[in-house]
Amino acid sequence: MCGIVGIFNYRDSIEGERPFIEWALKSMHHRGPDSNGTWTNNENYITGFVRLSILDLSENGNQPMISACGKYALSFNGEMYDVGKYRKRLQNEGVTFRSTTDTEVLLYALIHWGEEYVLEQFDGLFAFAFYNVVANSLILARDRSGIKPLYVGHSSQGLVYSSQYDHIINHHSIKSNPLHTGAVGAYLSLGYVPENSGVVTSTFLLPHGYYLHVNSAGFTRHRFFNYSLLQKGKAAKSLEQVLEENVRAQLVSDVPVGTFMSGGVDSPLVSYYANKHTNIQSFTIGVDDKKIDESKAAEEYANIFHTQHFCQHITEKDLLETIADNTKAFSEPFADFSSIPTLVLSKFARQKVIVALSGDGGDELFWGYPRNQRMLREGMAFRQNKLERVLSFGREKVTGAKRIIRRRHLQVRNFPAYYYRSLFITGAEQWLPELFDNEIEEAFFLKKLYEEEGAQDVTEQNIMNVLRKLEFDIHLQRILLKVDRASMFHSLEVRVPILSNEMIDYSSTMNFESCIKNGQGKYNLKQLLISKSNEQLVLQPKKGFVIPIGNWLRKELKKDVEDKIMNMPGELSHLFERRELEKILNEHNESKQDLGWLIWSLYSLVNWHHQHRKAI
């Protein structure tokens, strides 16, 4: 796991760009503390790399990696799994390898077989830049799920890319660009800036499952993966076979590997299969509040699985002291405050391991969230036209009948738009229309969904498939962003076996009825875990580690939050209605309404601006 940065000019020389590249490498040292390097064609392209050594710890694994012929250069952040079969094929085609890294296999696979084949066939978490010297062309690509970041900024001069957003917005070709108000509005809605967009104009996060082709004429976007909206046949393997095989594949490493393990379902399953193949170390954090503490359940799983388990008990003071690091770690605006305990857990795990496996993705692939089950009833309301929904809304209000039609049903045109709003942070849907007097950009993947045939069909299965796709394409991205930035801030590589290619493909063969039973989401995962542990432990109510953000904003953080929000930089302040800002703070401070998440999003936006907007 590493960090990459580079500049491709369409016509001009990159002379004078080396100081920027050196600053970028220094400022993302945490992503790759073991070595760094640069390479340039001495004309219009330069790339830089910082390395966190995982496979082949020798200098042979350093990057940027140049082909033996000198015609190709690769900067690669991530890991490719099960590459042995590709190594053998390439050797049969005459390739002589200098290292045992996945990087070198990827380099020669791209040379011999091309990007379309590689992106379709290779399994991994990745963001890479592959340069062809002879063609003077560049491929920038990002994995299917969006586990690894790749930001891009573009101008008439050329293109700059990086693993960190602050590098993009502080490059001289971008630095003076104004804020993109639509993207700011999307951030305040979702708690993060969705893909294919950026809060500074002419910048974006490359969407997952996409690659860019760059040459002297500019760049074009290409999609190589689209999570299926339709159910795809029958799975050839069982869930257990697929999960175990992919956990085992992701254990490959020349450095210590562990797991994050909560008291839930997904991470214990990953820990079980990891420990089946090697004596794994598992990590969790605990708190004194029994209502939210999952450390006891995690310890029970550890005892059943016989992992080497480690738990760090933390206090509110520990979490509050992490806020400064939280601002540093996220070089783009980010408002999911669960990043704070993720930073604490990552720091704790890094004391003993360099790689950790997480359980992220299970809720999104197998209908695991409680909101998923509510949507069968709420989504079917879109069988009515808008007038019928208005009449039903009025009738339910007058008669006091159980509410099926909500105000949101009257504000949106279809179910995808309805469910999209269910992914908003608390308070955004109510307050943003008055607070933020600008057009709010819809997420890129919502707009792409509208283009798909059948996306607006109102059947039970289609409603459930649509919401799963939105969970994968939009909500999951906030979680993956959080885990990557928090873990890499402490130089910890986090792998996600449930989001392997094969697990994603397996999930698309499932229908919601096989995953939601007896009021339980991701029922198939829970049944599998029950077979490895016990039913009482697995089916106990999910606690979830909850940061007391509402109380912090009324007490410990109150003065700093109010000072920063009410005195935000002019570039931000003109976007907001000052009276509404005051009203939101008052409503929350007087406990009339819990607006902690919305206020935290504003506070985080200001902190981001102070820390990263003008970093150099």
Q: Is 359 annotated as a binding residue?
A: yes
- Backbone region of residue 146 per phi and psi (left: phi > 0; alpha: psi in -120 to 50; beta: other values): left
- Give CA 6 to chain center in angstroms: 22
Which residues are CB-contacts of 577 (< 8 A; sequence separation ≥ 6)?
434, 435, 436, 437
Query: Measured between alpha carbons, how far is 205 from 194 in angstroms, rounded to an integer?
Result: 8
Q: Which residue type does 20 have? A: F
- Give CA 211 to chain center in angstroms: 17
Q: Which of 283, 279, 254, 248 lies closest to 267, judged by CA? A: 283
**Contact assessment for residue 424 and residue 446, using Cβ atoms and an 8 Å cutoff:** no
Q: Is 102 annotated as a binding residue?
A: yes
Query: Measured between alpha carbons, how far is 476 from 185 in angstroms, rounded to an integer?
Result: 19
Q: Which of 182, 145, 94 lies closest to 469, judged by CA? A: 145
Query: Measured between alpha carbons, how far is 62 from 71 in angstroms, rounded to an integer?
Result: 17
Query: Measured between alpha carbons, how far is 277 from 170 in angstroms, rounded to an integer?
Result: 45
Which residues are CB-contacts of 615 (< 8 A; sequence separation ≥ 6)?
27, 166, 170
Supply the residues annotated as catalytic.
2
Which residues are CB-contacts of 586 (< 8 A; sequence separation ≥ 6)?
592
Q: Which of 478, 452, 446, 444 lies closest to 190, judged by CA? A: 478
Q: Is 533 annotated as a binding residue?
A: no
Q: Which residue type does 443 have? A: A
**Contact assessment for residue 575 and residue 436, using Cβ atoms and an 8 Å cutoff:** yes
Query: Measured between alpha carbons, how far is 370 from 294 in angstroms, rounded to an integer?
Result: 19
Output DSSP code: residue 369.
S
Residues in the chain: 616
Annotated binding site for L-glutamine: 102
Annotated binding site: 102, 285, 358-359
Annotated binding site for ATP: 285, 358-359
